[in-house]
């Protein structure tokens, strides 16, 4: 039987759970608990739907690494507070701490690195394994990892966990007009306000698709812009040449690093909790015993 490794962008999952469930879901002490409940219910749904044989929850070691800021000071600036921390909605931080404590207690493998984002850790773990990989995320940047030949697909959470969409190469091309190998080129040309990428002046989504598909990505586009007599329209030639420095920096910022020095992860699905006492204490504190039971039942079903 061929295995299938599920790599979870944990932050994407708990954000979708936070916004997808009503604020009336409370812990016994009155704190919001929807993100904790929804996170583990989400894992259960994903496990039942896609039947992974391995699972790793990848955590955000550094949501805005300094090396990316050195390349682009405006990177994710719209989401940063004055002290440089990420602007989080009310009551989420405490729930994230509970999720991050529950995962190892349950026996779910996590992976992170203090100088990299979860995207980079996911790209690294995907590069290390020969088995099929399913990346679960709400981040469009990870469409760059889709690879039909190597059996890498993305479960996209943009519309919530229950309406997650499965993307292979054809689905990425249908939705965005470009091959996954050129998703970064497309995003950098078009721009992405959520990441602080301004894009190239005068290049919107449709033009970005045409340029990428005609010239084979930014490297080919820059070569055409520098070549006398190429068929690149003058207005685009000028825009590309003026944006050359931005393009170089933005591609580096937007490309997921695939050689992060993280330890080899044992992705084996958990059986019995590794720390039953801690699981029981946190389940009682947050009122999520039923969600954890559903998660355990879903994981055990995959092992049967």
Both 123 and 70 in one domain: the answer is yes
What pLDDT was estimated at residue 229?
78
Both 219 and 277 in one domain: the answer is no
Cross-strand pairs, 136: 8, 155
- Give the integer Cα–Cα distance in Å for 157 and 71: 29
Domain of residue 227, residue span: 180-254
Both 159 and 281 in one domain: the answer is yes
Both 27 and 59 in one domain: the answer is yes
Both 127 and 221 in one domain: the answer is no
Nearest-Å Rg of the Cα atoms of the chain is 21
Number of domains in the chain: 2
Q: Using one digit for the tens of pLDDT, what is the confidence trace for 283-299?
A: 999 999 999 999 999 98
What pLDDT was estimated at residue 160?
83
Residue 116 lies in a domain: yes
The whole-model pTM stands at 0.95
Burial 72-105 (b: 16+ CB within 10 A, else e): beebbeeebeeeeeeeeeebbebbbebbbbbbbb
Both 17 and 80 in one domain: the answer is yes
Terminal C-alpha separation, the chain: 13
- Give the integer Cα–Cα distance in Å for 94 and 26: 13
Q: Using one digit for the tens of pLDDT, what is the confidence trace for 212-240?
A: 999 999 999 999 999 887 899 999 999 99
Q: Using one digit for the tens of pLDDT, what is the confidence trace for 10-37?
A: 999 999 999 999 999 999 999 999 999 9
- Give the integer Cα–Cα distance in Å for 244 and 266: 42
Both 62 and 49 in one domain: the answer is yes
Both 18 and 68 in one domain: the answer is yes
Q: What CATH number has the domain bearing residue 219?
A: 1.10.150.20
């Amino acid at each position: 039987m061929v295995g299938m490794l599920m790599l979870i962008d944990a932050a994407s999952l708990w954000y979708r759970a936070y916004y997808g469930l009503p604020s009336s879901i409370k812990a016994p002490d009155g704190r919001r608990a929807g993100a904790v409940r929804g996170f583990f219910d989400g894992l259960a749904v994903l496990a039942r739907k896609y039947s992974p044989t391995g699972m790793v929850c990848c955590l955000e070691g550094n949501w805005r690494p300094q090396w990316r800021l050195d390349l682009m000071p405006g990177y994710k600036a719209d989401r940063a507070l004055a002290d440089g921390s990420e602007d989080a909605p009310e009551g989420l931080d405490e729930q994230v701490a509970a999720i991050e404590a529950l995962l190892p207690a349950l026996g779910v493998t996590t992976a992170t690195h203090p100088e990299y984002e979860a995207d980079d850790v996911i790209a690294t773990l995907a590069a290390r394994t020969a088995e099929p990989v399913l990346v679960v995320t709400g981040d469009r940047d990870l469409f760059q990892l889709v690879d039909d030949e190597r059996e890498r697909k993305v479960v996209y959470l943009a519309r919530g966990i229950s309406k997650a969409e499965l993307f292979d190469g054809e689905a990425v091309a249908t939705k965005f007009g470009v091959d996954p190998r050129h998703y970064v080129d497309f995003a950098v040309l078009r721009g992405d306000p959520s990441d602080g990428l301004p894009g190239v002046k005068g290049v919107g989504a449709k033009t970005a698709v045409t340029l990428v598909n005609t010239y084979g990505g930014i490297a080919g586009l820059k070569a055409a812009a520098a070549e006398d007599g190429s068929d690149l329209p003058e207005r685009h030639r000028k825009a590309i040449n003026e944006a050359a420095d931005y393009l170089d920096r933005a591609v580096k910022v937007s490309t997921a690093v695939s050689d992060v020095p993280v330890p080899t992860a044992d992705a084996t699905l958990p059986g019995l909790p590794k720390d039953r006492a801690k699981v029981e204490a946190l389940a009682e504190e947050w009122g999520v015993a039923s969600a954890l039971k559903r998660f355990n039942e879903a994981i055990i079903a995959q092992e049967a």
